[in-house]
């Protein structure tokens, strides 16, 4: 039984969010997205020449994304450097964003994205994808839609949205984690992963609360981009 969440949120409630673009002056586009105690900062460079050259595609551009947790992002200091988990998360962010950015408009080019997790309390791949998507829009890249990403899951008998690390670790309750990414206005899913076991029926419920949560994140993303645009027009 998981009848009340550890942080007293409703089962379908997101943590407090902050979204901001243009946070890295030296990048072509950048964004910060914070949800609860998880924060991601993304910086986009390009379109630029492809390096290494053998990754070049004649018909389209490519995205190369690097995800990294900075050593002080969790209470046990993380060993600096890229591990298997970082590589896996970099890959899923790259795949999801490649569905959003119109890469066919940049043949023989590369868009490089760096995402840093400054604070981690679960859901870092989702926060990274949301931040990277805002950063691509901030860089002025043509996109089919923004990506809005959040994790859902099941703890005990309850379907929950936006799990914290403490919730993920409620092993005796059998927490299941499902990171999701949506192109909200297209109603497309660009990220879907599963850590744990789930029935088809519960997965549908998780996707449904995930989409509602993603729509709220989408609003935050659009508001952050609008604020940036209005500020630029003022100065």
Give the binding site for ligand CDP (CB under 6 A): 74, 78, 85, 120-125, 165, 168, 179
Q: Residue 208 CB, nearest distance to ligand CDP (Å)? A: 20
* CB closer to ligand CDP, 107 vs 196: 196
* CB closer to ligand CDP, 77 vs 204: 77
Q: 130 is written with which tokens?
A: 């949301």
Q: Residue 90 CB, nearest distance to ligand CDP (Å)? A: 12
Q: Residue 100 CB, nearest distance to ligand CDP (Å)? A: 18
Radius of gyration (Cα) for the chain, nearest Å?
A: 18
Q: Which residues partner with 109 through β-bridges?
A: 49
Q: Residue 106 CB, nearest distance to ligand CDP (Å)? A: 28
Measured between alpha carbons, how far is 87 from 96 in angstroms, rounded to an integer? 14
Measured between alpha carbons, how far is 69 from 92 in angstroms, rounded to an integer? 16
* CB closer to ligand CDP, 30 vs 128: 128
Measured between alpha carbons, how far is 207 from 8 in angstroms, rounded to an integer? 22
Q: Residue 38 CB, nearest distance to ligand CDP (Å)? A: 6
Pairing of strands 109-119, 188-192: unpaired
Measured between alpha carbons, how far is 132 from 38 in angstroms, rounded to an integer? 14
SS3 71: helix
Indicate the residue whose CB is closest to ligand CDP: 124
* CB closer to ligand CDP, 13 vs 56: 13
* CB closer to ligand CDP, 24 vs 120: 120
């Amino acid at each position: 039984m998981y009848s009340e969440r550890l942080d007293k949120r409703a089962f379908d409630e997101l943590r407090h969010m902050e979204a901001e673009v243009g946070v890295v002056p030296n990048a072509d586009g950048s964004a910060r997205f914070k949800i609860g105690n998880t924060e991601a900062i993304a910086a986009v460079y390009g379109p630029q020449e492809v390096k290494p050259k053998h990754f070049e595609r004649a018909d389209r551009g490519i995205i190369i994304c690097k995800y990294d947790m900075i050593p002080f992002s969790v209470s046990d200091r993380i060993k600096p450097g890229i591990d298997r988990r970082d590589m896996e998360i970099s890959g899923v962010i790259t795949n999801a964003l490649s569905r959003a950015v119109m890469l066919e408009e940049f043949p023989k080019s590369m868009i490089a994205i760096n995402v840093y997790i400054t604070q981690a309390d679960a859901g870092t791949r989702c926060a990274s994808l949301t931040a990277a998507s805002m950063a691509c829009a901030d860089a002025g890249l043509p996109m089919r839609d923004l990506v809005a990403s959040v994790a859902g899951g099941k703890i005990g008998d309850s379907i929950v949205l936006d799990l914290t690390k403490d919730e993920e670790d409620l092993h005796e309750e059998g927490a299941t984690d499902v990171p999701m990414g949506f192109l909200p206005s297209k109603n497309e899913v660009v990220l879907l992963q599963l850590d744990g076991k789930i029935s088809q029926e519960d997965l549908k419920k998780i996707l449904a609360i995930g989409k509602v949560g993603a729509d709220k994140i989408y609003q935050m993303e659009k508001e952050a981009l609008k604020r940036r645009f209005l500020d630029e027009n003022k100065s």
